[in-house]
C-alpha cells in the first residue's frame, strides 16, 4: 500500500539531468511508438470480493535502523518504513543484520513477524544465529498482508524532513532490497516482473527517489497518448518486481520455520518487558508498535484501504493515476484497487466513501478501453 506522502510526492525531484534523458525518451516515444494491448479491468460493485484496511508506520524523518543499549540487552531498531515496508524489507533487514553482528553473539530475538521481521530473522539465520520471533500477530494478520505488493519504496519519508545521511541509508537499503527480490523471482515466492504505467492529466514529476535510484529504473521512459488508450495525456512507463503479498509471506514464513526458526506469540508493552527474554540481542521490527513500546512520538499511523475485484488473469500491468489517488495491481487473489491515504488514522474499518471514489475513478479509466 502507498501512503499519504504519495499525494505530495509528485512535487519531488523526479528526473534530474545526468540520470535519465527525458528529452531522448520523448523523441524515441514520438518517432517509434509501440502501442501495447491493455486488457480492461471490469470495474463494477458486483465484482467486489473483499475489502481490507491497514495502517502504515510512517515517520516523516524516514525509517529507523540503529543499535542501542538497554540495560543488559542490545536493541537493534528496524521500523518506521511507511508505505515502503515490503519494498525495503530485505534492505533494512540487511542493515539491521550488520548492526546485530557488530554486537556479537549467536542468538537473537526478533520482535515482529511481518515482511521486515521475517526478512531480518532469515538473514540472521543465514549467518548461523539461532533466532526466535516474538510477535503479537502472524501472517495473515500482519500489516504486511495488506500491502499492495510491488518493489517501489514510496511514501517512506517527507523530502523536506530527512537528512543527507538518511538519503544515503535509504538508497543503500533500496538497492539491497532490489537485489534480494531479484533472487526470489519465481512462482515459489510469488515474485515477478510487471510493467507499470503512471498517467496524469497535466505534466508531472515522479517522486524524487526515481532520480536517486535511476540505475534501478533503467527502462523508465515517457509514453505518448498514441501509445495507450487511457483518458490521460501524460505518462511514464517502468518495470518493477511485483510481490504477491499473501503468497510471498507464506513462503518466507515457511523458509524461516524450515531453517529451525521458532515463533512465540507475545505482546510487549514497554522496554522493561524485554528483560524476560533469554536472548541478549533484540531486533525490533514492531512497526507501528514502536510508537508505544519505544516511545517514538514521531511515528504515526497512516490508514490505507484496498478493494479487491474478482481475478482477471489477462491483466498484466500495474496502473497508477491522478496523483496516486488511484492505483490498480493484478494479483492471483484478485484485482487490487487502491488510493486511500488517511494521515494519523488508525481505524481498521473499511469505509464506503473510499470504495465509492475508487470504484468510480477506476471505472472512468477503464471504460475508455471498452
Domain at 130, CATH number? 3.30.9.10
pLDDT attached to residue 215: 95
Per-residue pLDDT band for 145 (boundaries 50, 70, 90) equals confident
pLDDT attached to residue 129: 98
Q: Using the predicted structure, report yes or no on whether residue 239 has a pLDDT greater than 70.
A: yes
Cell of residue 4, nine digits: 499519504
State the residue for C-alpha cell 549467536. 106
Total structural domains within the chain: 1
3-class SS string, the chain = CCCCHHHHHCCCCCCCCCCCCHHHHHHHHHHCCCCCCCCCCCCCHHHEEEEEEEEEEECCCCCEEEEEEECCEEEEEEECCHHHHHHHHHHHHHHHHHHHHHHCCCEEEEECCCHHHHHHHHHHHHCCCEEEEEECCCCCCCHHHHCCCECCCCCCCCHHHCCHHHHHHHHHHHHHHHHHHHCCCECCCCEEEEEEEEEECCCCCCCCHHHHCHHHCCCCEEECHHHCCCCCCEEEEEEEEEECHHHHHHHHHHHHHHCCCEEEECCCCCHHHHHHCCCCEEEECCHHHHHHHCCCCCCEEEEEEEEEECCCCCCCEEEEECCCCEEEEEECCEEEEECCCEECCCCCCCCHHHHHHHHHHHHHHHHCCC
**pLDDT digits 0-9 by tens, 297-354:** 999 999 999 999 999 999 999 999 999 999 999 999 999 999 888 999 999 999 999 9
pLDDT attached to residue 144: 86
Q: Using the predicted structure, report yes or no on whether residue 20 has a pLDDT greater than 50.
A: no
pLDDT attached to residue 26: 41
pLDDT attached to residue 22: 36
Sign of torsion over alpha carbons 178, 179, 185, 190: negative
Q: Which residue has the higher pLDDT, 168 or 20?
A: 168
Distance CA 192, CA 214 (A): 20
Per-residue pLDDT band for 184 (boundaries 50, 70, 90) equals very high
Contacts of 163 (CB under 8 A, 6+ apart): 61
pLDDT attached to residue 7: 37
Counting residues of the chain whose pLDDT is more than 90, the rounded percentage is 85
Q: Tell me the average pLDDT across 57-84.
A: 96
Q: Which residue has the higher pLDDT, 130 or 340?
A: 130
Q: Using the predicted structure, report yes or no on whether residue 179 has a pLDDT greater than 70.
A: yes
Q: Tell me the average pLDDT across 212-217.
A: 96
Give the lowest-confidence range in 39-43, 190-194, 336-340: 336-340
Q: Kindly report the average pLDDT of the chain as a whole number.
A: 90
Q: Tell me the average pLDDT across 162-167.
A: 97
Write the Ramachandran bin of 128: left for phi over 0, alpha for psi from -120 to 50, otherwise beta.
left
Q: Using the predicted structure, report yes or no on whether residue 88 has a pLDDT greater than 50.
A: yes
Distance CA 199, CA 204 (A): 9
Distance CA 75, CA 62 (A): 19
Distance CA 99, CA 191 (A): 28
pLDDT attached to residue 38: 97
Instruction: Give the count of beta carbons closer than 10 Å to the beta carbon of residue 187.
Output: 10
**Residue 51: how many CA atoms within 13 Å on its side-chain side?**
16
Give the lowest-confidence range in 23-32, 89-98, 145-154, 256-265: 23-32
User: Which range of residues forms the domain containing residue 114?
Assistant: 1-370
Amino acid at each position: 500500500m502507498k501512503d499519504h506522502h504519495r499525494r505530495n510526492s509528485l512535487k519531488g525531484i523526479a528526473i534530474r539531468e545526468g540520470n535519465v534523458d527525458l528529452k531522448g525518451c520523448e523523441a524515441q516515444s514520438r518517432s517509434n511508438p509501440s502501442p501495447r494491448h491493455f486488457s480492461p479491468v471490469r470495474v463494477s460493485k458486483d465484482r467486489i470480493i473483499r475489502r481490507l484496511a491497514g495502517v502504515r508506520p510512517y515517520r516523516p524523518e524516514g525509517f529507523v535502523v540503529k543499535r542501542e543499549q538497554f540495560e543488559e540487552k542490545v536493541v537493534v531498531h528496524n521500523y518506521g518504513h511507511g508505505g515502503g515496508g515490503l519494498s525495503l524489507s530485505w534492505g533494512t533487514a540487511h542493515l539491521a543484520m550488520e548492526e546485530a553482528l557488530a554486537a556479537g553473539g549467536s542468538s537473537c530475538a526478533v520482535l515482529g513477524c511481518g515482511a521486515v521481521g521475517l526478512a531480518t530473522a532469515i538473514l540472521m539465520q543465514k549467518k548461523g544465529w539461532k533466532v526466535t520471533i516474538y510477535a503479537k500477530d502472524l501472517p495473515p494478520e500482519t500489516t504486511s498482508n495488506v500491502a499492495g505488493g510491488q518493489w517501489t519504496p514510496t511514501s517512506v519519508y517527507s523530502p523536506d524532513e530527512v537528512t543527507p545521511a538518511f538519503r544515503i541509508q535509504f538508497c543503500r537499503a533500496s538497492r539491497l532490497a532490489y537485489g534480494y527480490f531479484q533472487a526470489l523471482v519465481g512462482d515459489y515466492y510469488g515474485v515477478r516482473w510487471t510493467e507499470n504505467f503512471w498517467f496524469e492529466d497535466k505534466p508531472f514529476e515522479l517522486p524524487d527517489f526515481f532520480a536517486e535510484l535511476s540505475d534501478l529504473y533503467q527502462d523508465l521512459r515517457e509514453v505518448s497518448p498514441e501509445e495507450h488508450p487511457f483518458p490521460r495525456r501524460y505518462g511514464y512507463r517502468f518495470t518493477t518486481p511485483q510481490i504477491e503479498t499473501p503468497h510471498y509471506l507464506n513462503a518466507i514464513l515457511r523458509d524461516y520455520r524450515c531453517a529451525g526458526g521458532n515463533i512465540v506469540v507475545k505482546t510487549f508493552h514497554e522496554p522493561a518487558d524485554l528483560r524476560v527474554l533469554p536472548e541478549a540481542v533484540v531486533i525490533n521490527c514492531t512497526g507501528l508498535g514502536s510508537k508505544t513500546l519505544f516511545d517514538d512520538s514521531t511515528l504515526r499511523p497512516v490508514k490505507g484501504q484496498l478493494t479487491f475485484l474478482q481475478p482477471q488473469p489477462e491483466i498484466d500491468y500495474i496502473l497508477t493515476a491522478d496523483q496516486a489517488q488511484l492505483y490498480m495491481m493484478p494479483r492471483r487473489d484478485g484485482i487490487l484497487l487502491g488510493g486511500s491515504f488517511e494521515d494519523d488514522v488508525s481505524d481498521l474499518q473499511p469505509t464506503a466513501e473510499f470504495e465509492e471514489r475508487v470504484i468510480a475513478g477506476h471505472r472512468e479509466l477503464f471504460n475508455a478501453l471498452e
